[in-house]
Structure formats: C-alpha cells, structure tokens
Copies of this chain bind each other. A is one copy, B any other.
Amino acid sequence: MVTLAEVAQHAGVSASTVSYVLSGKRSISTNTRQRVEESIRELGYHPNAGARALASSRSNIIALMVPLRTDMYVPVMMEIAIAVATTARAHGYDVLLLTGEEGPDAVRRVAGSGLADGMILMDVELEDERLPLLRGGDTPGGTRPGVRADQPAVLIGLPADTSGLTCVDLDFRATGALCVEHLAKLGHRDIAVIGEAPAVYERHTGFAERTLDGLRSGAREAGVRLLHRPCEGGYDAMALTLARILDERPGTTGFVVQNESAVEPLLALLRQQGRAVPEDVSVVAVCPEQVAVQASVRLTSVAIPAQEMGRYAVEHLVAKLDGRDGDEVVLIAPELTVRASSGPAPSRA
C-alpha cells in the first residue's frame, strides 16, 4: 500500500504538506498542490481509513440501523437505505449497515468504538430501548452516568418522546386525516381501514399508530364512520379481513389501505365480488409511488417519500456532525395524488 510518506517523498515535500493538500485546512501554493496531486494520482494513493480515524477521531462513517424483520414495507426500507447510502457518499461518508438484532448493544458498541461518527435509526418504536443512549442535551436522572453514548443520531420515525432527538418522518397523522378527508369529500360515509399486520401495532411502531390517530380524528371531523382492522399481507389474510369488514359494515364504500402487500389482494377480491373500483367502492392507499401506479387499478394514494426521508436524515446528521444543527423534528407533509381508484360514493340504494 502506498502511504502518505511515499507520496510526500515522490512530490518532494513533507508529509504534513500532503495532508494539508488533502484536507485543505491550510493554504498551499498552487505549485505545490499540483505536484502533490500529480504524485497522488501517479502512485494511486488512497489514505488509510484506520489511520485517519485514529488521528482525527472521525471515521467518516454513518451507521444505519435497519429492522431485522421483514414483515412490513420492505421496498420502502430498501429505498431509504439506498438513499441514505447515496446521500452519505455525496457528503464524504460511508454507511455501516446494522440490523436491529443487537438492539441497544449495537448503539453502545458503535458509539464506544468510534466505528461511526453518527447513526440513523429506522423502525423506531414509541418507547424504543435505544433512545436513552442517544438523547442529547440533559435528561435529568435519565441515564446512568457513563452510559450515555451521546451519539449524534437521527431517527427515521417518531418515538413517543422526541425531546433531545432529531427525527425525520412522513407526517402520518396528517396522512391519515388526508385520506379520510378525500373519501369523505367524495361522499363516502362508511370507511374501512386495512392496517398493518397486528404485530406492527403490538410493538408500538409509531407510524402505524399515528396514521390511525389521523384517520380517527379526520373521521370525527368529517362525521364519517371508521372501522380499522389490522391485516397481515397476502391474499388469504385479506380475504378474511374483508369478509369480516363487510359483515360488520355492509355499507362500506371507502377503503384506506396501509399495508402494501394487502393492496393487490384487496383489488382482486373486490373485483371477484363484483364490486367495481371506483364505481362501487373507492380505495386510497398509503404506499410508495411505484406500487400505486403498478397496481391493477392505478391507485389514489399518499406516497411514502422514502428517498426524501433517507436524504433528509443524512443531511441533518451531517449538519449535526458539523455542529451546524440542533435537535429538530422534521415532518414531511403528505401529498395525496388522485388516480383511478377513487370516485364519488354511489348514491344510496
């Protein structure tokens, strides 16, 4: 491996000069800079990451913690991960991939070892075990002294208590409200919500509950009836859930679907039962754009802006690492796109 010293020798300057050329932290004459750059190119020099991290106590690595489970939103997760990696590179960072598996220990390990300069957490639960370790500022009596990692971090998702934390997320509350509002305006009075898998609610994943909140308060405001049912993905689960819903509320004409793997099954089932979309029933989905346009009926939907979330998360984290930015909660405003799956409620029989 080529070292800094070799580059320096080749260029006829000292090692520190080469270092300053690389970092730009001191002014260098144009002449010297060019000679050094030429040597770097010629020798194919790459700075050694470990040495750099040791000397500067900055690793230029961001840790990204993705959920281990794949029971929800896999494409969204993937898209976020890729956006994070891409954006991070653009800012000179690499991304370390952690799975939720290790839980809080991963936070301790990464923070303690200086492996990463900061972290981004996905799939945050309302009372997440990892949060006490991340909370900046003062959490009086909250953490045992010496245990605080105080790792710069950004969450994708919203916990119950966001004090001392930076979070980025779609405003799922507004999303829920928006969906109901859309259907209510079209005259639907009985709306069913196909939610995420029961397990998602059980572990108190913030976005699911917040969406529900929004749906409920939207319904209250618009004076429509709302029936919420969790649903595993897949055809069979959807069939069962739909049957129950129509049994309980035969007059249901509006559906809000949050579970992306229930979308296509729902459409197939409705078709099979002779209920036309959007003539007889309307469907609004909360899902990535791609799912909405690729479905068998182009779906009216609120997009989940995965890329944007990943990008914002990195940008806020980098700002924090540069000391440019404090704690903050960024909620992305939802946008509802009307497509072919929603229309006026049928006139009452």
* Chain A interface residues toward B at CB < 8 A: 1-2, 44-54, 57, 59, 61, 64, 66, 68, 70, 74-75, 77-79, 81-82, 85-86, 89, 94-99, 101-102, 108-109, 112-115, 146-147, 233-235, 261, 264-265, 267-268, 271-272, 293-296
Contact = CB atoms under 8 A, between A and B. Distances in A.
Given A53-B50, A102-B89, A115-B49, A97 B64 contact: yes
Nearest 9 CB-CB pairs, A to B? A46-B112, A50-B53, A234-B294, A50-B54, A97-B97, A49-B115, A235-B296, A49-B113, A95-B97
A268 B294 CA distance: 13
A89 B70 contact: no
Contacts of A44: 108, 112, 146-147
A199 to B, nearest CB: 15
A96 B47 CA distance: 17
Contacts of A96: 61, 94-97
A97 B99 CA distance: 12
Contacts of A59: 49-50
Given A78-B74, A112-B46, A115-B49, A89 B97 contact: no
The complex is assembled from copies of this chain, and their number is 2
A89 B113 contact: no
Contacts of A2: 112
A98 B85 contact: yes
Contact of A97 (B47, B81, B113, B268): B81
Nearest to A77: B78
A114 B53 CA distance: 12
Most chain B Cβ neighbours within 10 Å, of A2, A45, A86, A264: A264
Given A79-B70, A146-B44, A294 B86 contact: no
Contacts of A78: 70, 74-75, 77-78
A51 B54 contact: yes
A271 B265 CA distance: 13
Most chain B Cβ neighbours within 10 Å, of A50, A54, A109, A265: A50
Given A1-B114, A89-B102, 11 more contacts: A44-B147, A46-B108, A46-B109, A46-B113, A50-B50, A50-B54, A66-B85, A78-B78, A89-B99, A94-B96, A235-B295
A53 B109 CA distance: 16
Given A50-B114, A108-B46, A235-B295, A82 B98 contact: no
A240 B77 CA distance: 30
